[in-house]
Amino acid sequence: MLSLLLFLLVTLSIVVSARPTRIHLLALWKLIVDHHYPAKRSISPPKFSKAIALGAFKDGGGCKNSQDITSDLLFLADQGYDMVRLYDIACDQVSNALSAIKQESKLSQMKLLLGILTLGEKLSENVGLLAAQVAGRWESVYAVNFGNELVETGKMTADQVIRDINTGKSLLSGQGWNGPSIIIDTWVAIANSPSLCTAGDFIGANAHPYFDLHTEAATAASFLTQTVIPRLKSACSTSSSTILITETGWPSSGGDKASSSLQATAIAALESLPVPHVLFEAFNEPSKATNSGQPVEGFWGIYTH
């Protein structure tokens, strides 16, 4: 309070001596507001070597059990991944993954990007369920994400998502998590709704070059570096250091431009991206093709094991 009073006295003396115009007064008022209420600024995503997304369901659609999750994580660790994105709390996936990390020495340095898919009326309940599965093991958590492409799909407005992440962060703090919390949407949705840029602690954007009509597998990385990242930097008035590409990949089947060879070409290109990114995804999820009615949705898996 004393520092505020001193600041106001100094600025008042400047005002009196300078005989300011209305423009000067407006500029001075902005200076005072900016000094005491600085705009929220995004941070850089925490560092990792390689990251990939992992689904919680078996080929037939049933839940993976703890042994399945452990096997998946051990396999991914052998491929050099030290950060894995999980999407939700279904199937006890958070608990199973954290238990594997604690039990397997090979996984001791692995971090998890956790997620809560359903917000709105279920937000408080789902934060509680997430915290229960974490059971205090926050040291293995990379960040917590609220929602996935909710604005892009029209399920929520940008204002609603921002409201819920603010509520969610407060709830998580009460559960012991004070690390990064983010929202994830498509790069197009974020660019078109810049208020999303600072909703989380850093920007989480899904970006799939496959869906761009003018992009081929060999130029997948160029689409991100020449189109996606510049657009986000401009819309969000930020640098690329605050951006995490939370999904990017290429399908091996189910649509035009989708084949195993093209996928291999695209993934090789995407792995050289100069910005942090999460490859999509570890293994095929055929049930997604059935549930969505879009064959390509089930065949983004990079590995089999």
Q: What is the pLDDT of residues 265-290, one digit of tens each?
A: 999 999 999 999 999 999 999 999 98
Q: Which residues contact 207 (CB under 8 A, 6 or more apart)?
A: 186, 187, 223, 224, 228, 245, 247, 248
- 41 in a structural domain: no
Same-domain status, 192 and 246: yes
Same domain membership, residue 148 and residue 16 = no
Same domain, 156 and 257: yes
Q: Is 285 annotated as catalytic? A: no
CB atoms within 10 A of CB 182: 25
Instruction: Give phi and psi for 280, each to the nearest 5.
Output: -120, 120
Domain match, 150 and 190 both = yes
pLDDT at 40: 54
Catalytically annotated residue among 125, 247, 281, 297: 247
Note whether residue 66 is domain-resident: yes
On whether residue 29 sits in a domain, the answer given is yes
- Digit-coded pLDDT (tens) for 93-105: 999 999 999 999 9
* Same domain? 23 vs 57: no
Give per-residue pLDDT as tens, 218-245. 999 999 999 999 999 999 999 999 999 9
> Are 21 and 91 in the same domain?
no
- Determine phi and psi for 45, rounding to 5 degrees: -60, 145
| 145 shares a domain with 236 | yes
19 plus 123 within the same structural domain? no
Q: Is residue 279 part of a domain?
A: yes
Q: Which residue range is the domain that position 23 belongs to?
A: 2-36
Q: Is residue 46 part of a domain?
A: no
